[in-house]
Amino acid sequence: MLARYENIVWLQTAFLGDCVLTTAAIRLARKQFPEVRQFVLTHAVGEKVFAQCPEVEGVFVIKKRTEWLWQTLARLGQFLRCHRLKGDPRTVMLLPHKSTRSALIAWAAGFSTIAYEEGARFPWLRWVAVPRVAVLHEAARIALLLEPLGVDRTQVIAARPGLDVSARIQSTPPHMIYTIGLALGSVWATKAWPLHYFAQLAVSILDMHPRVQLSLLGSIAEKQREESFLEYFCQYDGSGRAAERLVSRVGKTSIGQMSAEIKALDLLISNDSAPVHFASAFDVPTVVLFGATIPEMGFGPLSSKHEVCQVRELSCRPCGLHGHQTCPQKHFRCMRELTPAMVFETVAKVFKQLCLEK
């Protein structure tokens, strides 16, 4: 099958973190097939991720909220003609994300398609089915789509995301040695650690070492969380001096700039959300806080140095693929019982290792 194809088109319209993880498969494809051209069909947020992926030659933006499907297909036709893909039998489309809209776009494009077996509900696709192996990390599950093209399973399992960052960031002040990032948010509320816990942890970290700077990370949608965090932080920072070493980048950076921010960190502390996958792409040491979800679902950190903080003895975990906006059991024990002291103990252990290496 490999010899038949000279172009790979990825169709990925899932969450931001999924787009980052897809770069693992894209990088693997380039390594295995250096001459194959790769393109991505994605949403506007995904475009900003794949713009940092040098293995991608072109990105087509699917505007799900602002145009009808027929308008998308018309623009897609122009895109395919521009890149000499229209009607080319040497092109294969890979579908990491399952949706009716994605399947219709794949069908309209007219290419042979590789998708997961669970996509069998789209019988109109000319497709090859692969199993979506539950025990693998999501980066490897996406790379499984390359197996029908001849990629070995061992290479699939070893695939890691990677990004090429060109954005510049403000340098760390010369009197600071370490920069630790705090990613406060999550799309799903039950995956977000309480803000007053984050504030207590922040004060403890700044007390831990006089030359640590903390950087708050997040999108413009998380400005309210930032404001609440800062209120709590001021309450716990008795002297008021710690605030001088706290810098907020929430809502102030593009995705490219956020990538550069994360790449420059010595350590990232985050909920189970997209910043974890950016850290994996740059191999930044990471401490991840899991509540409603668990690492075994396939979305844990891939950095060579990482730790997971979670309350393991709860039968209600995980409560869903993404968690929920409110706790189904009404107690939210998965995050309430993950105390700042517990997380700080893990952070201090990782930080000690960093100090020994720096």
DSSP letters, 268-325, are: EEEESSHHHHHHHHHT--EEEE-SSS-GGGTTS--SSSEEEE-----TT---SSS--S
Contact 338, 317 (CB under 8 A): no
CA 91, 11, 54 angle in degrees (round to 5)?
Answer: 80
Output the tens digit of pLDDT for each of the chain's 358 residues.
545 899 999 999 999 999 999 999 999 999 999 999 999 999 999 999 999 999 999 999 999 889 999 999 999 999 999 999 999 999 999 999 888 888 889 999 999 999 998 765 676 677 888 999 999 999 999 999 999 999 999 999 999 999 998 766 665 666 679 999 999 999 999 999 999 999 999 999 999 999 999 999 999 999 999 999 999 999 998 777 677 899 999 999 899 999 999 999 999 999 999 999 999 999 999 999 999 999 999 999 999 999 999 999 999 999 988 889 999 999 999 999 999 999 999 999 999 999 888 7
Contact 234, 266 (CB under 8 A): no
Q: How far is CA 340 from the centre of its chain?
A: 24
- pLDDT of res. 357: 85
178-357 — its CATH code? 3.40.50.2000
- pLDDT of res. 233: 94
- The residue ranges of every structural domain in the chain are 2-158, 178-357
- pLDDT of res. 317: 97
**In which element (H, E) is residue 120 found?**
none
- 3-class secondary structure per residue, 162-225: CCCCCCCCCCCCCCCCEEEEEECCCCCHHHCCCHHHHHHHHHHHHHHCCCEEEEEECCHHHHHH
Pick the CATH number of 2-158 from 3.40.430.10, 3.30.70.3270, 3.10.129.10, 3.40.50.2000: 3.40.50.2000
User: Between the CA of residue 23 and those of 141, 222, 292, 309, what are the distances in Å?
Assistant: 12, 25, 26, 26
- pLDDT of res. 174: 66
**Radius of gyration, CA atoms only, the chain:** 21
- pLDDT of res. 48: 95
- pLDDT of res. 168: 65
| H helix count then E strand count, the chain | 12, 12
Please name the amino acid found at residue 71. Q
Contact 302, 160 (CB under 8 A): yes
Q: Do domains 2-158 and 178-357 have the same CATH topology?
A: yes
Q: What tokens were used for 97?
A: 């994300």
Q: How far apart are CA 273 and CA 277, in angstroms?
A: 8
Contact 252, 215 (CB under 8 A): no
- pLDDT of res. 119: 63
**In which element (H, E) is residue 56 found?**
none
Residues in the chain: 358
